[in-house]
Chains A and B, each alone.
Chain A
Amino acid sequence: MAEKTDKNTVVVEKTPTVTFTLDGREVTVPKGTTILLAAQSVGIDIPTLCWHPKLTIAGSCRMCYVEIEKWPKLAISCATEAMDGMVVYTDSDLVRKGRAAVIQFTLMNHPLDCPTCDKGGECTLQDLAFAYGVDNSEFDFGKHRFGATENDTTFDDVVVGPEIVLNRNRCIRCYRCIRANKEAFGEFDLGVFERGNHTEINVAPGRRLDNPFSGNLTEVCPVGALTHLDWRYKIRVWLTDTTSSICPFYSSGSNILLYTNQQQNKIYRATSRVNDDIDDGWLSDTTRFGYQVAMSPDRLKMPLIKKDGKQVEATWEEALKLIGKRLTEITEKKGRVCIGGLVASSQDNATLFSFSKLLRKVVGSNNIDFRTDYRMLPQTSGGAYDVLCSQPFSIVGINQSDVIVTLGSDLVKEHPNEYLRIRKAVNFGAVSVYAMNPYRTKSSDVAKKELVYQAGTEEILINSICLVAIEDGLIDSSLAGNLAECISPSTAAESAELCEVNLEDIRAIARALADGRQITFFAGEIVGRSINREAIAAALCNLHRLFGLSGRCQMNILPRHANSCGAVQLGLLPAPVLATKDMLSKLWGGWPESEPQTTDRMMANMKKDEIDGYMIVGANPIMLYPDREFATDALEGLDFLMVADLFETETTALADVVLPLASWAEYSGEYVNLEGRVQKTHQALKTDYDARPGYEIAALIAQQLEQPLFENDQTRDETITKVLAVDSTLPWPDEFLEVKHVADEVDEEYPLVLFVGDDSHHSGYLTEKSNSLTNFQAEPYVEISPTLAKRLGIDDGDSVRVESPVGKIVVPVRISHHINNDVVFVPMNFSGKQVNSLIMRKSRVDRVRISKVVD
């Protein structure tokens, strides 16, 4: 084990080991290893019920007995550390009898309703009873039954949340669910009540089990006590096949297994495919239940083309012909630069790369981007923001950190996996977490301090950390250089005041950064979406330099989507970083002359008639662009719009050609996660209608333009591999960057700051097509603090009008402790309400007012 003593020296200490005898063989393991883990390491399986590799040890089921020579009693191997010279038997007569007794006790009140239990076939208790030949015929009394309640459906089942069903009679009281829920997820909607043989797991009084990780509980439960509605009574597990896949919604790419049945051509559920390096075996509910999107009956099944102002069904051939014709017309009439494209970063590498080549090589313009929901992006690349985004990041690195700092990230909503990682670091390590956010988030549960700053002041906040470090002499003064001249205000106190934060809190973060040996520091979507992102990134670069973080900190602005990293690396930025651009121009024998245009610039140019043809793949700017009016005007002003998507959306409604896009579950693809790790999905479903993957669509369009894209799939993939191999990490700036305070005008009429983003059970615009996820949340709402609610005389669930200078919507109120008083949050995941009509692409901070709707 490498034990670091200070920032520079690394002392390698030899880990002490112990040697003991296990079933006659000598085993050496690090001191502190339990007998159970030691046995697992040499391939000896000891049965367990309550033990779970990712949770603290409960030691309650007593299944994992082993016999230790000279010990008076059987020992539980999950909690007993191996010690030098121990002689352990894992399968002696005594052990087998002990375990059989445990099974007998466990079966005593168990209903043994295996024929109708959804866990049948994958139930640990069932397997163990079988292995130890135990039934419960010796127990000749009536079984204890937990009382029926109004919510009861069939048997003894109680629906305790939107998806979760609890059967207390099957529960063996291993407390895995409770531990997972409380420890791993930090959730308190489930509890243990009563005691003795009446001890029961149940939802907290007045709550429902609806936390963003609730689906994991069904996997954690070793028996059929916790199951989910989505899977129940649909199929027996042994009639399913599994296909490995990854989560298409978040940038860490959690590993999943899709349970399918080929005859039915259906996916029945998704479970974790444990990958400790990425997800530790936990999935967010969005990841788990998101597969239903692919199977939605609303899927677009045929191409549509506009005829006489109306979209009508057409064949692929007709549609493609039309695309080819219109694109050619536009290029011929107005030039190549009049065609642009938006390809979402949820698409796989092949799709992204194919469209990139289609636009740059076949069409011949630099009008390509993958960002829908980011306003006013810079035209050029290589600025501070790109530097930060390009930095290496490792998920397990989070757990190796002693200091974790986050900036502008509502973690559970945008990076649920990383949120759980941070929780784990806190639970099992000595780590200090500091979260800085413009509103209170669930990070406050893990953070030593969640620092809530005035919205839109991120860069000043970062400045203040730097300033306090200089003022307090926390850093080597020679490092400070001319920083003070580059930033304003020039004192920590003034900066802190502008951000409305306590200087002491800033000081604590500065101290942690100065002392941290391994730091993880990342910013999230609130920074990414900010119009001010370049200044914030510059401030972060300054901080990196001032604190000398090189070599002891992974700092990044985390990408949000499943393949954001792939998009960047494959050159989907209008102006890719130099190394990538060089590689691509080499491969393609040149580079378009035209000025690179971001989505925002292209939209502006659509209005000016400088972009006439536009192709959108898997994106819905009308719903998500942070200025609905602007986006609508732009797209309506086009001569030709092609949209490929899974569903009809408000964007496809404007299109001249709509193409049915295959979902991630319908073809095999590759995605690059936020660590730069390339991961594969495999085909789990065959569409029985004619939806096609993005890369195929690109190839077909290229054919129409008479310029085939790739010789074949293999050459395409080889090229992709080459491009991905390019190191696109950008160097940190070698000087301090200017970061000055710019005052934000506040319109007194609109006193509340509006944040938009994802609901904790949704991601983007597709998940409202998942039944399970809409069972959790089907509608937008406005989240406000109890204090604000009180001030406005609003109750939970009341309808309110949310008004900004440019728009208004009416939504129900959700009162939440996870928000502060002058901020409101509205999720963007629901198409019915035009949430983005409230925001303007040019505003740094969105402001609204709310009022109760009286009917």
Chain B
Amino acid sequence: MSFYSPVRTNAQEAAKSDSLPLFRFVEDPEQTKIDTYEAHGGYQAWRKTLTEMTPEQVVGEVKNAGLRGRGGAGFPAGVKWGFVPKGSTKPKYLICNADESEPGTCKDRVLLERDPHAVIEGMAIASYAIDCHLMFIYIRGEFGYAADVMRAAMAEAYKKGQLGKNIHGGGYDLDMIVHTGGGAYVCGEETAQTNSIEGRRGNARMKPPFPAVAGLYGCPTIVNNVETLASVPHIINRGGDWYKTLGTEKSTGSKIFSLSGHVRQPGNYELLLGHNLKDLIYSPKYGGGIIGDKKLKGVIPGGSSTPFLKPDQIDVSLDYESLASAGTMLGSGAVIVFHEETCIVWIITKLIRFYRHESCGKCTPCREGTAWLELLINRIEQGGGKPGDIEKIESICDNIMGRTVCPLGDAAVMPIKSAIAQWRDEWQYHIDHGKCLVETKCELAPGN
């Protein structure tokens, strides 16, 4: 049984490289053990943090590194940490967001399953930076194996004195809770996640107040993605100045890209930010091209909620700014590739079903709007589309976009708007002819 994800990685490349720190040891089956982790230089950054650095210095170093959140929004981590009110007497909390549920995204799972101590170490350093003494990792409920690995790693970390009371004699106490979810994409959203940890329904909360001011239990709370936090120890070890040399000017460092869909070699690849998207898809080192030598039809570059790129747009640098100029987003770095024998409406039916299913139901536009969109899109896909349906979809999208409590509403409509803008003819054909312009051929492999 495949507990340990059999996903393909570029660990070998990373092992040889000096600039792909996240994946260096992920193919080492012993890496989950604390002794191995330490032998590989692990927990040195934590020790250094506790013994040599003030919280301000840690925040400063991470700011200097330019590390941006890897969870989707790309907000600078150090800046976020700086939002925790100074001198607040309330407890502060750190939550490592391991809910990984955005379709296409499967990068955090590799770190959780194969390098758990790196995550713990990053969480610990971030906790210190914000004066948190109880940190949480919120792992999506289905990642049972990852949670087991994490719990075992946590137990080891306690045993070895990396967590607990008076760590490394520096007088700092830090406890950790592994919290598992129950199947809800929206619980990846930071305010819904705090509700979920509090034992409430995973509804999103209004912002402001922002979690950094009033989050978990009403206390200042920082939520960071697994990958963001796993990058932190490297920044502490080698300095923000070093980290800045990786990637592009505004998108520093390395990032894991989950490549899925119609490519020969799907997998998780750690690349420097700024890597060329086309290379990721076609290079024999990574994607190896489209299966069956079919023609590429489109790419979702940053997880299912980001706008599509057409083949003529994929010669683009994978960094926050370049993708923004291309009209899309880096998001969680989940690159989903599909070839010519895929109907765009068919793709959108999968996505809207997902967002309708995952809407928390709190706010009107998202709750009702996603349901309406699903009905309309399914109707078109099933051949019953009516004239005006496309416009209606667009108008519903506009009435959801920017009007919801949390960004799930935006996430639901961005790909739809983009799919219509990019392949409008195909939508129109669907309505006019009651069938697909291109018939989708996505078959289960026979295997052997």
Contact = CB atoms under 8 A, between A and B. Distances in A.
Interface of A: 57-63, 65, 72-74, 76, 79, 98, 101-102, 104-106, 108-109, 138-141, 144, 172-173, 175, 192, 194-199
B368 A106 contact: yes
B385 to A, nearest CB: 12
Contact of A72 (B184, B202, B358, B402): B402
Q: Identify which of A61, A74, A108, A197 gathers the most chain B CB atoms within 10 Å of its CB.
A: A197
A694 B371 CA distance: 62
Nearest to A139: B372
B277 to A, nearest CB: 28
Nearest to A172: B364
A106 B360 contact: no
Interface in B333-379: 356-365, 367-372, 375, 379
Contact of B184 (A79, A192, A195): A195
A289 B202 CA distance: 37
Nearest to B404: A62
6 closest A-B pairs by beta carbon, nearest first, are A199-B361, A101-B399, A105-B368, A73-B402, A197-B371, A196-B359
A172 B364 CA distance: 8
Contacts of A61: 363-364
Interface string B372-413: 100100010000001000001000000100111100000000
21 contacts: A59-B206, A60-B362, A60-B363, A60-B364, A62-B365, A74-B403, A102-B364, A102-B365, A105-B399, A109-B371, A138-B392, A140-B386, A141-B372, A173-B362, A173-B364, A175-B362, A196-B357, A196-B360, A196-B367, A196-B370, A196-B371
Given A61-B364, A106-B368, A196 B358 contact: yes
Given A59-B363, A196-B360, A196-B371, 18 more contacts: A61-B364, A72-B402, A74-B402, A98-B399, A98-B403, A105-B364, A108-B372, A138-B392, A139-B372, A173-B361, A195-B202, A195-B360, A196-B356, A196-B359, A196-B361, A197-B359, A197-B367, A198-B361
B222 to A, nearest CB: 23
Contact of A141 (B206, B361, B362, B375): B375
Contacts of B402: 72-74
Nearest to B410: A73
Contacts of A79: 206
A109 B370 CA distance: 13
Nearest to A76: B206
A108 B368 CA distance: 7
B295 interface: no
Contacts of A105: 364-365, 367-369, 372, 399
A196 B408 CA distance: 12
Given A62-B403, A98-B403, A197 B370 contact: yes
Contacts of A59: 206, 363, 405
Contacts of A141: 372, 375, 379
A142 to B, nearest CB: 9
A204 to B, nearest CB: 14
B250 interface: no
A199 B367 contact: yes
Contacts of B379: 141
Nearest to B202: A195
B184 A60 contact: no
Contacts of A192: 201
A130 B405 CA distance: 26
Instruction: Give the interface SS of chain A, mostly helix, strand, loop or mixed.
Output: loop
Contacts of A98: 399, 403
Nearest to A65: B403
Interface residues of B, number: 29
Interface of B: 184, 201-202, 206, 356-365, 367-372, 375, 379, 386, 392, 399, 402-405
A98 B357 CA distance: 24
A721 B346 CA distance: 80
A459 to B, nearest CB: 41
A503 to B, nearest CB: 30
B201 A195 contact: yes
Nearest to A81: B208
Nearest to A175: B362
Contacts of B399: 98, 101, 104-105
Contacts of B365: 62, 101-102, 105
Given A79-B206, A192-B201, A197 B360 contact: no
Contacts of A106: 364, 368
Nearest to B372: A108
A18 to B, nearest CB: 15
A58 B363 CA distance: 9
Contacts of B403: 62, 65, 73-74, 98, 101
A94 to B, nearest CB: 11
B287 to A, nearest CB: 34
Contacts of A60: 362-364, 405
B237 to A, nearest CB: 39
Nearest to B386: A140
A144 B404 CA distance: 21
Given A61-B363, A98-B399, A195-B201, A109 B206 contact: no
A770 B25 CA distance: 76
B356 A197 contact: yes
B371 A62 contact: no
A79 B358 CA distance: 25
Contacts of A144: 371
A206 to B, nearest CB: 19
A195 B368 contact: no
A175 B403 CA distance: 19
Nearest to A101: B399
Contacts of B361: 173, 194-199
A194 B367 CA distance: 12
Nearest to A107: B368
Contacts of A63: 364
Nearest to A98: B403
Contacts of B375: 141
Nearest to A62: B364
Contacts of B370: 196-197
B384 to A, nearest CB: 11
A572 to B, nearest CB: 51
A592 to B, nearest CB: 64
Contacts of B358: 196
A101 B403 CA distance: 10
Nearest to B402: A73
A173 B367 contact: yes
B363 A62 contact: yes
A69 to B, nearest CB: 16
A195 B359 contact: yes
B246 to A, nearest CB: 32
A62 B400 CA distance: 11
Contacts of A173: 361-362, 364, 367
Q: Identify which of B357, B358, B364 gathers the most chain A CB atoms within 10 Å of its CB.
A: B364
B368 A197 contact: yes
A154 to B, nearest CB: 26
Nearest to A108: B368
A297 to B, nearest CB: 46
Contacts of A101: 365, 399, 403
A586 B79 CA distance: 79
Contacts of A175: 362
Nearest to B399: A101
Nearest to A100: B399
